[in-house]
Amino acid sequence: MSSGARERDKVFVEHCKGANGLDKVVLREVRGSSAEVYLYGGQVTSWKNEYGEELLFVSSKATFKSPKAIRGGIPICFPQFGSLGSLEQHGFARNRFWSIDHDPPPFPTNSGNKAFIDLILKPSEEDSKIWSHRYEFRLRVTLGPGGDLMLTSRIRNTNTDGKSFTFTFAYHTYLFVTDISEVRVEGLETLDYLDNLKGRERFTEQGDAITFESEVDKIYLSTPTKIAILDHERKRTFVLRKDGLPDAVVWNPWDKKAKAISDFGDDEYKHMLCVEAACVEKPITLKPGEEWRGRQELSAVPSSYCSGQLDPRKVLQGG
């Protein structure tokens, strides 16, 4: 590769040091959008639009230090979501050091994007003691020319003992919002959900858009491939598209829980909302050699206004 080509590629993908000297990768697109990915946790910690506005929430009290997971951005929950199993909360992928994957298998949809990075996680000997399976977890993080952020996970069972394994999964996305009381979520109306605040009892959501006035921790089931999150104050709509991830977790700790979380500011709940593409209700089972793929794409668009009201139907129908 010529030095000119190397310089050009460096514009799109830069390897550098982040908080506490941790390795990170900065992705940039020509129009000015950017994303940051830490090798610790394989975690996206920043996603900015072309105006340099941050679209993801990271707590001001986040600890960028092993063994604690980074509070914010897009933590990856694998091989266990929440406390649904014998492992630590949300599994171990989010507090392991991932590696750059220099030779990923080909992607069927490589659409000429230049700002992307491939990471890989394999089990260490320590991990094998707590979860006795061999796997390869490949993650591609891509920043599209229009500023869209795409995460594609490919998890393969590489056991040599003939054993299948089962896991649950989520992209635990923390979105930055201006004022949680002015946010609504479209696309989950009338769906069944499990309420984590009520022992995972099953309920059916009402017919209206979801708004927030207290703590919420729900797992919506059989959700559409597209969900819209409307930030009324900023006239901005996040569109989350997902594939292979039937569930959607919606979480905000509200004031009491926020005060109890050590790496979370007391008032920060006002400026964040987790909407998580997930596979929780029906765990995934892979036989040796089988691969699962789960993908999410985030975009941020100006909200459409119609007689003073947001018109999310346009967002949900378009594209």
- Considering the candidates 172, 186, 268, 297, report the single residue annotated as catalytic: 172
Please list the alpha-helical segments (H only) found in 113-233.
125-130
- Whether 290 is catalytic is no
Of 56, 63, 91, 61, the residue nearest 77 (C-alpha): 91
- Exactly one of 29, 36, 276, 297 is catalytic; name it: 276
H helix or E strand, kind and range, residue 273: strand 272-286
d(CA 224, CA 220): 10
In single-letter form, the type of residue at position 172 comes to H
Question: CB of 139 within 8 A of CB of 42?
Answer: yes
Residues making up the binding site: 71, 89, 94
Backbone φ and ψ of 25, nearest 5°: -125, 130
E strand residue ranges, 32-181:
34-38, 43-48, 76-77, 99-100, 115-121, 135-143, 149-157, 165-171, 174-176
Instruction: Supply 284's token pair.
Output: 């995934």
The answer to whether residue 102 is catalytic is no
Q: Binding site for substrate: which residues? A: 71, 89, 94
Q: Could you give the residue numbers annotated as active site?
A: 172, 276
